[in-house]
Chains A and B, each alone.
Chain A
Amino acid sequence: MPKEFTPKVVTANALLEGDVVYQTVDDRWSRHLSEAELISDEALAKLRLAQAEGQPELVVGPYLADAKPSDDGPQPTHFREEFRRTGPSNYHHGKQAEVN
């Protein structure tokens, strides 16, 4: 039996600001994980990553990150992605203080 595929989102950093960004279904780069496209199919994930890699003028270092579905869109499964989504935890600043 092949291993079950864990759903993924395509994430990267924006070239100009360095912000954490997520690929959306309609090919935008969103600052919000909740707007990301959650990809449940392995072949599609590879294709979407390849498309992201073809946009070096917009993003740096795209990769596939594990995520799980929720009523509020994709959620992180690992604490690293939780911090990337939110910003530093030492005090309230960075992304969490700026993104509405």
Chain B
Amino acid sequence: MYSYSEFDAAFVAERNHQFRAQVERRIAGNLTEDEFKPLRLLNGLYLQLHAYMLRVAIPYGTLNAAQMRQLAHIAETWDKGYGHFTTRQNIQFNWPELRDVPEILDALAEVEMHAIQTSGNTIRNVTADHFAGAAEDEIADPRPVAELLRQWTTDHPEFQFLPRKFKIAVTGSPNDRAVIKAHDIGLQIVERDGEIGYRVLVGGGLGRTPMIGKVLSDFVSQEDLLPYVEATVSVWNLLGRRDNKYKSRIKITVHEHGIDDIRARVQERFEVIRPAFSGIDVALFEDIKTAFAPPAFRQDGTEVFETTYKTDPIFRSWADTNLIAHKAPGYAIVQISLKAHGATPGDATADQMRVMADLAEFYGHDELRISHEQNVILPHVHKSNLPALHAILKKHGLATANIGLISDIIACPGMDYCALATARSIPIAQQIATRFDELKLEHDIGELKIKISGCINACGHHHVGHIGILGLDRAGVENYQITLGGDHTENATIGDRTGPGFSADEIIPAIERIVEAYLDQRQDRDETFLEFYRRVGMAPFKTALYEQEKSYAAE
């Protein structure tokens, strides 16, 4: 893992020192809220519906055990004993008091973490594939370049007052698990004639106007990457609309000007700034890469795993659902579900955080990842350790075998916490998970991604859910719109709206009717929900949603 340089540590310490003084001046009445708000947002501190909320960056979703333990310590000391992992691989503390925030930031700095640029019109936390360094299909680990980008973007003087926020995601695999097509810039590591480089996508995004990212360049070399990304952000910084916040994101700039025009402008700007990049960035990148060298993988037998797999059905179900093939022989990628049926998606208690930290330390080469799907990953576990690991997870409510299934739901905080929300999303996720658990159907249904947002800003990625749910306020009542057929992968697709929305009471039965229609009409168990939707389209779902409802009413 990357360790802070002296410069990094001094920078974070200085920022924390400044913020401590800013908080003191605000409390003493020497700063107004209008003066203080931009300062607190620079340090990830929001004021939400019921309390302050501190959003802490987890760069490219990677943590070690000591960092996870510190998050547990913060949750217990200054919050209500839990934290919430988000779709941008961050963690949010929902209840800090203003006076305590400088203490929390100092505690984070002790383990090389911070909350800088987790808010505001800056370049946000750079996210990456949560299987980085472990995935079988990986061309190269995306984290070194994500770290390079983190260093380049942090406090970059040209990019502190952008037209709007700016999000970058990186994948090192052709199978995209980082939703790069829904980011302002998406980077895909590719290989051309033996050379590693980057395919650059631009102008993706969800929110009010969802757009799939477009290819800006098919291949940018390592030497050209930073100037090319800088040129792209610069073009938007000048061209992006500051008159209307709904039109300010780069997706609108690309849409309005066309990708060819943007590409030409980026190329022109690139040629101007390229000479200023003397190669220090490439040397730094090589240094960073060594920090992400793979751990020394063990050579060991997997008999314990095979035996337990044959004899313990609970373990087998968990292994079938929550494990992913690892690139190293004898190893597995473990996905820990933070989606126990009826629990809040993405929440972990301080105790659970400590357990996961211990497991990472004992069995997982001291590595943890946070996925954008709000789960925790132990990327490198030898299969011989899996039965012991599973037994410990089970004791702490962390062994739910539902990754990729209907109860593994992404849900934004919604109106239970968020000041921007127009409706709740967590209780909808809780009810869907509980209902399908009662029906004992979820393994039969198979892969089905439900994603729920509590407002049009789409933090819950509803547009790219196989089933997307968007909570709105319709004349003072919560109302939920459904979209179908969204896809968050390399085949990214925006889902189609089914029609009129449903009330909070009607939405769970509506989801049930959708799933029944799929189960009744799929060719066989191998045809996934998404494949079925792509084959048959909206018609059977419209019938199930709207016509059956009418016929029930008529009975």
Contacts and interface: CB of A to CB of B under 8 A. Distances in A.
A80 B476 CA distance: 9
Interface residues of A, number: 25
A43 B243 CA distance: 33
Contacts of B159: none
A10 to B, nearest CB: 16
B427 A90 contact: yes
A92 B99 CA distance: 25
Contacts of B427: 89-90
Contact of B415 (A19, A77, A83, A94): A83
A3 interface: no
A15 B98 contact: yes
A52 to B, nearest CB: 12
A18 B98 contact: yes
Interface residues of B, number: 28
A5 B415 CA distance: 27
B95 A94 contact: yes
A72 to B, nearest CB: 21
Contact of A18 (B27, B52, B426, B477): B52
Nearest to B415: A83
Contact of B99 (A16, A79, A95): A16
A56 B47 contact: no
Contacts, number: 71
Interface in A3-38: 13, 15-20
Contacts of B478: 79
A69 interface: no
A27 B271 CA distance: 63
B97 A17 contact: yes
Given A60-B47, A84-B50, A94-B80, A16 B415 contact: no
B344 interface: yes
A77 B476 CA distance: 9
B33 to A, nearest CB: 5
A91 B98 contact: no
A8 to B, nearest CB: 16
B47 A61 contact: yes
A18 B33 contact: no
Interface string B34-54: 000000000000011111100
B76 interface: no
A27 to B, nearest CB: 18
Nearest to B81: A93
Interface string B467-499: 000000100111000000000000000000000
**Which of A18, A56, A77 counts the most B-chain CB atoms under 10 A from its CB?**
A18
Interface string A36-71: 000000000000000000001100110000000000
23 contacts: A13-B47, A15-B27, A16-B98, A17-B97, A18-B48, A18-B98, A19-B50, A20-B49, A20-B50, A57-B27, A57-B29, A60-B33, A79-B415, A79-B477, A80-B415, A83-B416, A84-B49, A87-B50, A89-B416, A90-B344, A94-B80, A94-B95, A95-B50
Given A15-B98, A94-B51, 19 more contacts: A13-B51, A16-B97, A16-B98, A16-B99, A17-B98, A18-B47, A18-B95, A18-B97, A19-B50, A20-B50, A61-B47, A79-B477, A79-B478, A80-B415, A83-B49, A88-B50, A88-B416, A89-B424, A94-B50
Interface of B: 26-27, 29, 32-33, 47-52, 80, 95, 97-99, 344, 415-417, 424, 426-427, 430, 473, 476-478
- Give me the 3 closest cross-chain CB pairs, A-B, nearest first: A18-B51, A88-B416, A18-B52
Interface of A: 13, 15-20, 56-57, 60-61, 77-80, 83-84, 87-91, 93-95
